[in-house]
Structure 1
Amino acid sequence: MAELARVAQASDAPGGARVPVGKRVRVPKTAELVAGHLRKQIVRGELEPGDALASESELMGQFGISRPTLREAFRVLESESLITIRRGAHGGARVSAPDPDVAARYAGLVLEYRGATLRDVYQAAAIMEPPCVRQLAGQADAAVVARLREAVDAEKAALDDPLALVEAQDAFHALLVELTGNQTLVLLCSMLRYIVDRANSEHVAASADSEEHRAQALKGHRTHVRLVKLIEQNKAEEAEKLWHRHITSADDVVNAVGAKTVLELID
């Protein structure tokens, strides 16, 4: 019980802030407190992906809780994809790394609830990605340029394979954001790319054999090559404008086949 009391104390308001008199307070369930304690250990790196949690009996003793309460805590963490449960004699709970795809799927549900369309997602990408390009071009870092050249080389190697090419081109978009080093942007943009990548794949699957698609794919590749040159030449404003036009034109092409809701792409 001492461990559980410590967990409960850690969940109190910061700085000992008092709840206003008359305000109704929701008291967390014991399982939520236990899940919160384990969650913090995972996100702080105290428990790493692949690590096995202690046995149920050990955790029950540590927190002073019953088996049903512990399993309820496990269900909370499993729903967040922070642990996986293996059944059987050699089973147990193992830690998983927080998965951006889980956040993207949930964000997609929220967007669908709010009536968002695929065009909304592309417009958001057109707002977020070009400033990242401007930042990279402003730095003109040789290591960054080398990474980007590797990415466009991977695209070139896939020019005859439409599905492989769209994957390589989507990876190039993700790399532009990753290279900024801003983890908040990386997560937010990865949530958008999760949806956009599925839209691109669906578009390719429907039109991969057409000459029009091949022309669009080659045009996209040439734009990526040109962007890398602009970044290398430290032409930040020109690079940013080029990338904004590129995303906007991709939005027009994919949406030309009909408006898609977010939910249609994440099911």
Structure 2
Amino acid sequence: MTAARNSRIPHRRIAETVAAELRERIFADDQYSFATQEQLVREFGVSHPSIREALRILETEGLVTVRRGKVGGADVHRPDEAQAAYHIGLSLQSARVTLRDLAVGLQMLEPNCAEACASREDRAEVVVPALRRCVEMSEQTMNDGVVFTQSGRDFHRLIVSFTPNPVIRSAVGSYVALWSAQEQAWAVATTRKGSYPSSALESDVVCAHRRIVDEIEAGRPGEAKRLARAHLEATQAFIIEHHGDSVVNVSSSSSWLGRPSMR
């Protein structure tokens, strides 16, 4: 048993070396791809088992989806907030973190992004037009609970995406993506039951989004932050009222996170 284990160490190290090189290429080039495993065997001059193990390493990281078969290759996925959210969600689910805790955390974090947007000197040219288009789209999707929820969550993702600091943008974006997945799953369930909130409440959401954009455009960071927090508290209340003590569940909402399939 010991001899067999020791004989595998060099093979594992080769696979890790290949995986590290492929990982760097994926990060460095948005368009990077490779056609087949055979191509990688020739390029790296290693065995098929080493290439397959290297791809398995990257597959568990969500960076590739392996295509099985005689000439199988892999589809490349660059990391994004949704993927990070999936792994964060697994950690929160393992720690038995509730939806109420996630909601409160977002109330502390996300309004800072609205504040940062209102402080941008280029907000009138870059931030405000995109947010107003999103609000208009939300208004057009009223009376369709699932689509309206998705459009509404797009507004929150945009707010975070325009945050200048890349660390805050990535971290808060991951939590927003995780909450959005939970909220989207809730919208599907309530729509099926006929219990999705009324169109009057959808109007309140659109109105709140407009007011936040107005404050961002006017360059009033404090008021943008205050409105963003009040809006979060109001909209999260629908889920918290009935599911606040439920543990964050990534498996039930993974499709909304856009997690690459592991075949």
Which SS does the other structure have where 1:262 is aligned? coil
Q: Runs of 5+ in structure 2 lacking a partner?
A: 1-8, 255-263
2:30 counterpart of 1:52: no
Residue type at the aligned position of 2:185? E
How many residue pairs are counted as aligned between the two chains? 239
Shift of 1:48: 2.3
Identify which of structures 1 and 2 has the higher relative contact order when contacts are C-alpha pairs closer than 8 Å and 6+ apart: 2
2:21 counterpart of 1:37: yes
Match of 2:91 among 110, 117, 121: 110
Equivalences for 1:151-170 in 2 at 5 Å?
A: 151-170=134-153
Match of 1:246 among 231, 234, 241: 231
Shift of 1:53: 4.9
Q: TM-score, normalised by structure 1?
A: 0.79
Shift of 1:246: 1.3
Equivalences for 1:9-158 in 2 at 5 Å?
A: 29-45=13-29, 48-49=31-32, 51-53=33-35, 55-56=37-38, 59-88=40-69, 91-139=72-120, 141-143=123-125, 144-158=127-141
Shift of 1:149: 0.7
Is the Cα contact below 8 Å between 2:153 and 2:180 reproduced in 1?
Answer: yes
Q: TM-score, normalised by structure 2?
A: 0.80
Q: Runs of 5+ in structure 1 lacking a partner?
A: 1-25
2:173 counterpart of 1:190: yes
Considering only aligned residues, what root-mean-square deviation do their CA atoms show, in Å?
2.6
Shift of 1:85: 2.6
* Deviation digits for residues 135-160 of structure 1 (CA, Å, limit 9, x no counterpart): 11123621211111111101111112
Mapped partners of 1:245, 1:72: distance in 2: 49
What is the aligned partner in structure 1 of residue 218 from structure 2?
233
Go from structure 1 to structure 2 and tell me whether the alpha carbon gap of 1:216 and 1:206 turns closer, same or farther (over 3 Å shift): farther
* Deviation digits for residues 71-130 of structure 1 (CA, Å, limit 9, x no counterpart): 111111122232233334553234332243332222111111112111121122112211
What is the aligned partner in structure 1 of residue 209 from structure 2?
224
What is the aligned partner in structure 1 of residue 4 from structure 2?
none
Is the Cα contact below 8 Å between 2:37 and 2:48 reproduced in 1?
Answer: no
Mapped partners of 2:178, 2:198: distance in 1: 20
2:186 counterpart of 1:203: yes
More deviation in 199-208 or 187-196?
199-208
Residue type at the aligned position of 2:27? V
Mapped partners of 1:190, 1:249: distance in 2: 20
Is the Cα contact below 8 Å between 1:199 and 1:254 reproduced in 2?
Answer: no
Go from structure 1 to structure 2 and tell me whether the alpha carbon gap of 1:68 and 1:62 turns closer, same or farther (over 3 Å shift): same
Larger Rg: 1
